[in-house]
Amino acid sequence: MPITVETKSRISKLKWALAIALAFALAACGSDPAPPIINPTPTPLATAAPIPGTSVATIPLATATPRTGNPRATPVPTLAPPFIPIPPARDLVTLAKRFRTGQDIGLAQFPVVTASDIGSVERFWLVDLAGPRIGQLNATLRLVTPHAAWYVGDGDSVLQTDLAAAAAVFEDVVFPQVTQAMLGFVPPPSATGPGARIAMLNTRLSGAAGYFASVDLYNAGVYDYTNSRPMLYLDAGAIRTRGSAFTSLVAHELQHLLHSYIDPTEGTWVNEGLSEAVSHLVVPGRRVTPPGGRSEISLTRWPDHTFSLGGYYATANLFFRYVNNRYQGLAKLIARPEDGIDGIEAFLDEVGRGEDFATLFQDWAVANLLGVGGQGVYTYGEGAGVNAVTPPRSISPGGTVEGVVVPFAADYVTLELPPGTPTLRFQGQATNAIIPTTPHSGSSCWWSNRGDSTHTRLSQEIDLGDVSQATLRFQAWYNLETPWDFLYVTASSDGGATWDILPGQHTIEDNPVGTSYGHGLTGQSDGPNDGPSDGWIQETMDLTPYAGARVLLAFEQVSDDAIHLDGACIDDIEISEIGFFDDAETDGLWEAEGFVRTDNVLPQTFGVRVILVGSDGAVAVRNVALDGANNGSIQLDIAGSGIRSATVIVSSLTRYTGQPATYTLTLDSGI
């Protein structure tokens, strides 16, 4: 599925707001848009929208200076506690130059579309997300509105009256409300031009009700299947049904498109959550139930199973609706160039309330428990339409409950409290793993890191000057999204001017959606059906073409816009002909750009809260203090207090992993 990158410079609200308002307008003048994210960001078929006082300066377009690249500075990776570096951003233009064209290729020159073009036929690339595979179709331009050019695929039956009604909803409702929510203002008409129009392709889609593909903002040299214009893809049935489902769908996908200009590197869970939250602002009233009984559904880590994403969409939807209510808007958060949890932490620092993401997450989990009965920071606000979580389990006096929870998910357990002062005891595992394996040998391996729209490298110069043949051997464990994310081994014999991608015994060339640059490792190292385990493989690659000289050798992992899995680990790297062997037990041999030499051990962090609701509806939230081994207890003095209900919420707050954590709750009988 799609990708993301880390960009660390900060742009003021005025600058980024103007950047997006002008991005479309400058396209009409033949300039480049800001580099976006990649790959389709779909809306599932089950629902149209998945469940998943600043003045603005006027800049005359005639004197606006076209941009030649991303106005933000190149991100500088920094160490994030305790030792995991922020993975560098993927640069599609540079990757295309290195592995496809050998030359610099700019971003797309958007076509100018006006009312005089109505009736013309164009050919578009289309993604079959159910495949996945790429195809083409012809479509006819049927309508032109101020911000959009409306196409209908050949063979698709869409009445002109339905198309006109849908276009009116987009222009009068969706576009102004989405831009207001994202930018804090609606771009004035003078900031757009005929070339700025979004192509709205209405046709039969497979695997989605709609999607946005950021690769459409690039030229064909960067991505073979680009349509070289800002586009939204809508299932023709959505036009015919219209109503709130269509409005939510278009609002959702428009957020993705605009976000690719504001922050082209944002992670999946944030981008999808914001699309859901923004579509709710445009079409309020849809009731959502938090998946509170599903402690395997993480807010921040999404699986690659598109058929099971409904709970993840609902979770992200609710989180950003909660953020919108608590902080009175989303524009400042959207403006942050940092991604994922880092972006939310930066936003919280900016608003200056002294909160961190872990606290925010736990407050939100409490709000999900209380539903319409929430109060203070534990509420979505009036009329939010959020059903309260029903805890799936309970614990009786003298009883024990064992649980498993993934990072940034919440497990809810009802406490059946006896009279007196019972004690709740918690015991959780002390450590966790980055990936579900152990190093192939010794205590460490080189982990590729993980993230959306990332490109990490592990490289060094190898001297093959005294040999006539050479073979690279290494052990690899990987769990990478197929066919979107790949691990490559690359070599350069001219100091990095040009690069080759090396074939191996386990690499594949299959490239159904155009995201691969050549022979790469993808999927799972222990096979597609067994699930990730200790499944290390030995990979072998021929270095003989580089014998007799010095060669740059690199391991490179490239991830697309959306959905990332565990990544890869490399161990026991060997070139026997020159006596080279690295078992990843020491530093200094390799230049690591995002890669991490790790023993695969992280400290596990839990958040444990007890929520007491009185007979008068008053809510008390108690934190359970944990020691360094994740043991803790709390005495609950409830004698005569009129407690109506008591619930414990257990959250895993461990970053940099997707692995679950286990815990045990014990409730003493009291006195």
Nearest to 306, CA basis, from 511, 130, 566: 130
Name the CATH topology of 391-433+603-668: Jelly Rolls (2.60.120)
Range with lowest mean pLDDT among 262-271, 328-337, 392-401, 520-529: 520-529
Cβ-proximal residues to 22 (8 Å cutoff; 6+ apart), any chain: 59, 61, 64, 191
Q: How many CB atoms lie under 10 A from the CB of residue 48?
A: 26
What's the pLDDT score for residue 669?
80
Give CA–CA dist 638/671, Å, rounded.
11
Establish how many alpha carbons lie within 13 A of residue 331's alpha carbon, considering only the half-sphere containing its beta carbon.
21
Give CA–CA dist 592/459, Å, rounded.
7
What's the pLDDT score for residue 12?
27
Residue 334 burial (10 A CB sphere; 0-12, 13-18, 19+)? buried
As annotated, the residues of the chain forming the CATH 2.60.120.380 domain(s) are 391-433+603-668
What's the pLDDT score for residue 189?
54
pLDDT over 60 (residue 655):
yes
3 state SS of 439:
coil
Phi-psi region of 401 (alpha: psi -120 to 50; beta: other; left: phi over 0): beta
Which is more confidently placed, 294 or 659? 659
pLDDT over 70 (residue 37):
no
pLDDT over 50 (residue 5):
no
Report the amino acid identity of residue 307. F
Give CA–CA dist 542/511, Å, rounded.
23
Residues in the chain: 671
pLDDT, tens only, 486-519: 999 999 999 999 999 999 999 999 998 889 999 9
Range with lowest mean pLDDT among 157-166, 214-223, 525-534: 525-534
| The CATH number of the domain covering residues in 445-599 | 2.60.120
Helix ranges (H only) for 184-242 are: 236-241
Instruction: State the virtual CA torsion across 318, 321, 327, 333 in degrees, nearest 10.
Output: 90
Tell me the sheet residues that pair with 445.
598
- The mean pLDDT value for 266-280 works out to 95
| Phi and psi at residue 213, to the nearest 5° | -125, 115
What's the pLDDT score for residue 400?
97
- The mean pLDDT value for 188-207 works out to 76
Give CA–CA dist 502/541, Å, rounded.
7
What's the pLDDT score for residue 310?
87
pLDDT, tens only, 559-588: 998 889 999 999 999 999 999 999 999 998
Grade residue 186 by pLDDT with cuts at 50, 70 and 90.
confident
Grade residue 292 by pLDDT with cuts at 50, 70 and 90.
low
Question: By the 8 A CB rule, do 652 and 414 touch?
Answer: no
Which residue bears the tokens 């179709």? 137
Residue 21 burial (10 A CB sphere; 0-12, 13-18, 19+)? buried
Cα–Cα distances (Å) from 484 to 130, 367, 523, 529, in that order, read 14, 36, 9, 18
- The mean pLDDT value for 269-283 works out to 95
pTM of the model: 0.85
